[in-house]
Amino acid sequence: MTIEAIDFGRLYRDHLAMSQRTRKDPSAWDSRAAGMASKALRSRYADEFVARMDLSGAASLLDVGCGPGTIGLAVAGQLQRVVGLDYSSAMLDAMRSKAAESGLGNVETLHRAWEDDWSDVPQCDIVVASRSTTVEDIATALERLHAKARLRVYLTHLVGGHFTDPAIQAVIGRRMPSVPDYIYLLNILHRMGIHPRLDYIAHENRLADAVDFDDFARRVAWSVGELDAHETECLRSWYQRATPQQRRGTPMRWAFISWEKVPC
C-alpha cells in the first residue's frame, strides 16, 4: 500500500469516534463567553498567532470558530472587514461587545456551525480557524476554509491528542483516549494538492492559572467530564501535595498550519 491509497479523512473520523469525545453544545460555550472575552485581547497565544500571519494585500478576514474574537479583533484595526463565525451566540455577543468597546465598526458576526449551510458565508482574503478544528469531518472543514479564502488560510490544531495533561488523567484514574491530532490535517491537505507551512505554538494549559482547588477541579471536569466523589478526592489529595509547577502541568502545543491560496 502507498500513502496515496490511504483515506486520511476516514481515518480521522474513525479515530475521533474511538476517542469517545462528546461535542459540547453551544450552551456550554455560552457559559464560558464572559470569562474568555475578558482575556481575548491580552493573550500570548493570540500574539504568537498574529505574529505568524501575513496581512499584506488583505482587506477582509473570516474567523471560523471565532469565540469572543481572540484573533479577529486582534487584527481588525488593520482590515476593512472582519467576520466572526461561531455556533455560540454568547461568544458572538462578546465579540461584538469587545469590538464596540474598541471602537471597531468593521466587525460583523454569523451564527453558524461547521456543519451548517455556508452558502451565505462571505469569501474573504484571509480565513483563520484558531483552536476550533476538532470537528467531526475535518476533510470537509478544510475544503470549506480553502474555498472561503482568496489569499491565505491560517489554523491551529492540537498536537499530541490530549486536551487534559495525561498526568492529571492518571491522578483521577481515568485514561482518556487521544483525539486525532494535526498530522491528519497535513495528509488531507497534501491530498488536496496543498503544501502547507508548519510551525508550533506552545503556551500554558488552562489549569495553570486556576485560583484554588475548586477552580482547578472545574477546569479538569470541563475537559474530561463530571468527576465523581472518588475522583474528586484523588484530585484534591494530589493538589494539596503538588508543587505549583506540577499544578501548572505541561504546556499545550498547537500546530500552526498555513497556506497560500493559489489562483485558479
Tens digit of each residue's pLDDT (9 = 90 or more) over 20-31: 777 777 776 666
Asked if 207 and 165 count as a contact pair (C-beta separation under 8 A), the reply is: yes
Q: What pLDDT score does 38 carry?
A: 63
| pLDDT at 40 (0 to 100) | 64
Can you give the pTM of this predicted structure? 0.89
**Degrees, nearest 5: CA angle 240-179-121:** 115
CA distances from 136 to 14, 19, 23, 175, 247 (A): 10, 12, 9, 22, 31
Quote the pLDDT of residue 20: 77
Count Cβ atoms below 10 Å from residue 172 Cβ, excluding itself. 22
Closest C-alpha to 160, from 181, 135, 131, 174: 181
Residue 75's pLDDT is: 97
Provide the residue type at 141 as one letter. Answer: A
pLDDT given at position 153: 98
Bridge partners, residue 204, by sequence: none
Q: Give every residue of the chain whose pLDDT is below 70, as ranges.
A: 28-41, 263-264
Would you give the distance in Å from CA 150 to the centre of its chain?
22
Render pLDDT for 84-118 as a digit per residue (tens, 0 to 9): 999 999 999 999 999 999 999 999 999 999 999 99
User: SS3 for the chain, per residue?
Assistant: CCHHHCCHHHHHHHHHHHHCCCCCCHHHHHCCHHHHHHHCCCCHHHHHHHHCCCCCCCCEEEEECCCCCCCHHHHHHHCCEEEEEECCHHHHHHHHHHHHHCCCCCEEEEECCCCCCCCCCCCEEEEEECCCCCCCCHHHHHHHHHHHEEEEEEEEEECCCCCCCHHHHHHHCCCCCCCCCCHHHHHHHHHCCCCCEEEEEEECCCCCCCCCHHHHHHHHHHHHCCCCHHHHHHHHHHHHHCCHHHHHCCCEEEEEEEEECCCC
